[in-house]
Amino acid sequence: MSKTYRPYQPQQPLLLPQAVSDYLPDGDLAYFVPEVVAELDLSTILASYEREARGYPPYHPQMLVGLLLYAYCRGVYSSRRIAFGCTHDLGFMVVTARQTPDFRTIAAFRKRHLAALAALFSQVLQLATAAGLVQLGHVALDGTKVQANASRHKARSYGRMEERASALEAEVAFWLDQAEQTDAAEDAELGERQGDELPAHLATKQQRAVAIRTAKAVLEERARAQAQAAGADPEQAVVPSKTQDNFTDPASRIMKTPQGFGQCYNAQAAVEAGSWIIVGQEVTAAPPDVQRLVPLLEIVKAETGQYPAQLSADAGYASESNLVACEERGIDTYIALGRLKHDAPPDAVAGPPPRPGRWPARARMREKLSTDAGRLAYAKRKQTVEPVFGHIKAARGFRQFLLRGLTAVRGEWGLLCTVHNLLRLYQQGVTTP
């Protein structure tokens, strides 16, 4: 007796048409994202299309917003891969209702409305607050270096700029002189050409020399502005020879990362303990974290209406002015004063004790961290903010910005943080109104 199998007939037409949603289980993320997008205020995006009276009807912005948010939730960031998903992935098909925008449409929509997409962070955070996920009991701050869309090998120091620009200009001048000397002999062969055109490779060298001169002028102007801000004579400002600029993304900076030095941006996040909701975020081109504590606190207040009751941050944020600022705002703060060795005893406190009468805020912080309650409060930092960066970088594979320039990168980071909070709502089983 032969074995009986379930029927398998790939070419068999369906008796009745089926919806794409019939192939996904209830509660799938592909259903959740469009439901949330339907509750968001997209008037800023929609208004830009109302002014376009002519042209072929565009894809509905609500669909494209949902598509981008869903793609980022799935760790898909390339516009080509998103377009591929629209024709090959059931989840994408459900979100788009079987519409298939091409990658140029997706990329143009993201670029055109990046600021409005990043602003959705506030609306999703409000949904999380309304769902009871945001209490602002304990908030942890931290920064992570994210690779810029540029290579550090495209950076050049101010001192090398002059040397390289002069060498390129000398090389171009040499070949122009050679062309002029041999012009008469080549007239018969060249015909209508004049004989002094730059070869392609020399034209490229000339363009590079111009680019280097332009970058050099930018560094000089920046030095004059800094001197003027400091009350010095701008005309006497000197650019240090080791000051660098990147030709691919000039706004990015070389920063130290766990993998070595790279061309990066410093992405900041304030995360609430327990819910892992991001309640404040920003991006800066400055490598140190210490300058970002107060601005990030003000961002948290602007987003939620209040400061956190308790705050923790690593030693990168430790400064006398930061500790005083937290005390003035009534925040119960726990900031490490240094890094402990791995073999340090459990009751050890990092950093040398301050001199008597000097840095009183640091002395008070050292005393707080030496208590059992202080150590427990500070321990929340590592299990609060670091997992969020792990989810963004490792779980969803975002380790390098796709866009260039500080404004674009800030919009991209805002979109990533929006998606993180959206996933937290989904994982907590929050339903839309």
Residues 112 and 107: their CA atoms lie apart, in Å, by 9
Confidence of residue 274 (pLDDT cuts 50, 70, 90): confident
Cα 23 to Cα 91: distance, rounded to the nearest angstrom: 9
- Cα distance between residue 78 and residue 409, in whole Å: 15
Mean pLDDT of all residues in the chain? 83
Q: What is the pTM of this model?
A: 0.79
The DSSP result for 385-422, as a single string, is: THHHHHIIIIIS---B-SS-SHHHHHHHHHHHHHHHHH
Q: H helices then E strands: how many in the chain? A: 16, 8
Task: Give the best-scoring range by mean pLDDT among 107-121, 207-221, 342-356.
Answer: 107-121
Q: What's at 402, amino acid-wise?
A: L
How big is the chain by its Cα radius of gyration, in Å?
28
Give the rounded percent of residues in the chain with a pLDDT score beyond 90. 54
Query: Is-contact 92 82, C-beta < 8 A?
Result: yes
Say what the pLDDT of residue 164 is. 55
Query: How many Å apart are CA 410 and CA 229, to the nearest integer?
Result: 25
Close Cβ partners of 9 (under 8 Å, ≥ 6 residues apart): none
pLDDT digits 0-9 by tens, 142-201: 999 999 988 766 555 545 555 555 565 565 565 556 655 555 555 555 455 454 454 554
Q: How far apart are CA 354 and CA 359, in angstroms?
A: 7
Question: To which residue do tokens 């090998």 refer?
Answer: 153
Query: Running DSSP on this structure, what letter comes out for residue 40?
Result: S
Statement: residue 140 has pLDDT above 60: yes
